[in-house]
Amino acid sequence: MHLNRVRNQNGVVTVLVRETYREEGKVKKRTLANLTHLPADVQELVGRALAGETMGAASDLEILETRHHGHVEAVMLAMRKLGLARLISPTRTRERDLVMALIAARILEPSSKLAVTRWWETTTLPDVLGLGTEVCEDELYQAMDWLVDQQAAIETRLGKKHLENCGLVLYDLSSSYVEGTKCELAARGYSRDGKKDKLQVNYGLLTDENGCPVSVTVYPGNTGDPATVRDQIDKLREQFGLDLVVFVGDRGMVAQTTVEKLREQEGVEWITALKSGAINKLNADGALQMSLFDKRDIFELASPRYPDERLIACRNPLLAERRARKRKEMLDATRRELAKVRGMVRRGTLRGRATIGIRVGRVINKYKMAKHFKVEITDAGFSYCVRRDTVRKEASVDGVYIIRTSVPAEVIDTDDVVRHYKRLTRVEKCFRTMKMSGLEVRPIYHRKERRVRAHIFLCMLALYVQWHMQRAWRPLLFAEETDTLPDRHPVQPAKPTAQAKAKRATKRTDDGLPAQSFRSLLANLATIAKNVCRLGKRTPTFEKFTKRTPLQTRAFSLLNAL
């Protein structure tokens, strides 16, 4: 047998496997197979084999290159299902491809732009996006500058997809610290990271009622929470074109001055909560009747302090116990510290009324217990005692919080107002994901304002993709598989379902697969590799992917359902 190439009159080559034989003394040929449809390298291998060449054995198999692929494929599949490329830009450009790569890298391996160019050489990400091998960090910075110019258009597309008139909009503000002192947006302010010695930038995140991120705005680090609300309302009205929204913000953000400004806005209703000082005033006025909590844990009340508003009082017994325990710990710690200071005064190592006063003030302010202590200081010493009346007064409202809203009762009932306010925990979860669950928005190393804005917007887009991936993968993760918020009790803490308890106890899913965290599942998928192989040095190369495990197969099937 041999390989025979036959060219017809039109120049088309047909590749045939033929056999030569003798019949009545004449040499004849017969065709055994037509290989024209096979790739040229396969045809060559067949021809060499028919010629008697010994092909490489399994021991001759060489793996010339291995690159991680599975986690890249998962993220890119999620992006395709979400239509992220068209959300970023309807027209494909080099900048759009680089931004897609940066978003994927932020989810898979968040690091500096230089480190990203080194990392993705070990993955199939450049091949999947057609980036090639020559991508430098300067080109990534140019893509970030391009992204800033597209941000408003991208957020508008996200708003049309996820926000709707008369719907809930959740908003909260956070901060991240900055390395260095030359950042154009950095300033000192209230640090949510506990980095009081660092400059920071603030950023406000808008989400839909489910916590899906839609927009992020970066502010100087010394911008107060209430000062950002008007800006966000204008964005909802002008950029997103919403005529009526219910804005949900926490008690520190929607202060009284902010409420007065919101009242001036047509088509804007709001839900927030009262601070502890305001609750104490209502209690002192008699508007808050604590005896009502003996029969129920939620009720509405009215007060002339808050005209044309609904006030909904809630009491959580578990929260009351936790606050009482915390206060006792702080009081005991303050007493111990004050005893140490009194010992220093008695030994003569601390003298003078002013010096003693500074040290005592430092102690009682350390645990924010100054209001509960009566202190008398002289040049010779000092004495202190706990103000039992202030402790009792504060303890009387332990576990009590009051929701305030402008939404009429016929639009949203009492229980749902409380549930909607508690949805803010979803925005807080988004911030935790951006900071601590792999996206690593902090610390910020960029100096230029545009780069800082681009960095945080990239993190938000990565959060958008990861948010959807986590929801799709809930059957495989240590998480509730359904959204229980609409059905939960408005006041009592949410309890895990039996399904979630079983998953945490057995560390297995309903399918018997090992339960995962989001990060461990990505790491598992990364073991799917693309290998470039050959059998012997003279044979052509071929690609071989790692076979998927049942867990990996299930993960991809869930993403396909996005």
Question: Are 478 and 503 contacting, i.e. CB atoms less than 8 angstroms apart?
Answer: yes
Give CA–CA dist 129/457, Å, rounded.
Answer: 21
Give CA–CA dist 169/164, Å, rounded.
Answer: 9
Q: What is the pLDDT of residues 283-314, one digit of tens each?
A: 888 888 888 888 888 999 999 999 889 999 99
Q: Flag whether pLDDT at 350 surpasses 80.
A: yes
Give CA–CA dist 548/498, Å, rounded.
Answer: 30
**Poorest-confidence range of 72-81, 230-239, 386-395, 535-544?**
535-544
Question: Are 1 and 50 contacting, i.e. CB atoms less than 8 angstroms apart?
Answer: yes
Give the confidence band of 14 by pLDDT, cuts at 50, 70, 90: confident
Task: Tell me which DSSP letter residue 314 carries.
Answer: E
Q: Which of 268, 303, 259 is nearest to 165 (CA)?
A: 268
Query: At 451, which amino acid appears?
Result: R
**Poorest-confidence range of 50-64, 161-175, 304-318, 521-535?**
50-64
Q: Which of 223, 222, 227, 205 is nearest to 214 (CA)?
A: 205
Q: What is the pLDDT of residues 396-448, one digit of tens each?
A: 889 999 999 999 999 999 999 999 999 998 899 898 888 876 788 888 889 99
**Poorest-confidence range of 2-11, 307-316, 328-337, 526-535?**
2-11
pTM of the model: 0.84
Q: What is the pLDDT of residues 306-323, one digit of tens each?
A: 988 999 999 988 889 999
Burial of 206 (0-12, 13-18, 19+ CB in 10 A): buried
In the block, tokens 């006025």 appear at 285
What element of type H or E holds 505? helix 498-506
- Helix/strand/coil for 90: coil
- Helix/strand/coil for 495: coil
What element of type H or E holds 391? helix 388-395
Number of Cβ within 10 Å of residue 144's Cβ equals 24
Task: Tell me which DSSP letter residue 265 carries.
Answer: S
What mean pLDDT comes out for the span 167-188?
Answer: 91
Contacts of 449 (CB under 8 A, 6+ apart): 184, 185
Question: Are 474 and 481 contacting, i.e. CB atoms less than 8 angstroms apart?
Answer: yes
**Poorest-confidence range of 1-10, 27-36, 54-63, 350-359?**
54-63
In the predicted model, what is the mean pLDDT of the chain? 88
pLDDT of residue 211: 92
Q: What is the pLDDT of residues 368-397, one digit of tens each?
A: 888 899 988 888 778 889 999 999 988 988
Question: Are 516 and 509 contacting, i.e. CB atoms less than 8 angstroms apart?
Answer: no
Question: Are 485 and 423 contacting, i.e. CB atoms less than 8 angstroms apart?
Answer: yes
SS (H, E, C) 217-242: EEEECCCCCHHHHHHHHHHHHHHCCC
Q: Which of 427, 526, 513, 529 is nearest to 473 (CA)?
A: 513
pLDDT > 70 in the chain, percent? 98
Give CA–CA dist 374/358, Å, rounded.
Answer: 15
The domain segmentation of the chain, as residue ranges, is: 2-55, 148-316+399-468, 319-395
What length does the chain have?
562
Output the six-digit token pair for 278. Answer: 């305001």
Q: Flag whether pLDDT at 333 surpasses 90.
A: yes
Question: Are 469 and 558 contacting, i.e. CB atoms less than 8 angstroms apart?
Answer: no
Q: Flag whether pLDDT at 94 surpasses 90.
A: yes
Determine the topology of domain 148-316+399-468 in CATH: Transposase Inhibitor Protein From Tn5; Chain A, domain 1 (3.90.350)
Q: In what order do the strands lie in the sheet with 61-68?
A: 61-68, 529-535, 542-545
Give CA–CA dist 94/232, Å, rounded.
Answer: 32
- Helix/strand/coil for 390: helix
pLDDT of residue 468: 96
Contacts of 305 (CB under 8 A, 6+ apart): 278, 281, 282, 285, 287
pLDDT of residue 485: 56
Output the six-digit token pair for 540. Answer: 């052509």
For helices 449-472 and 70-82, angle between their N-to-C axes, nearest 10 degrees = 90
What element of type H or E holds 102? helix 94-108
Within 148-188, strands assigned E span: 167-178
Number of Cβ within 10 Å of residue 438's Cβ equals 18
Give CA–CA dist 221/413, Å, rounded.
Answer: 38
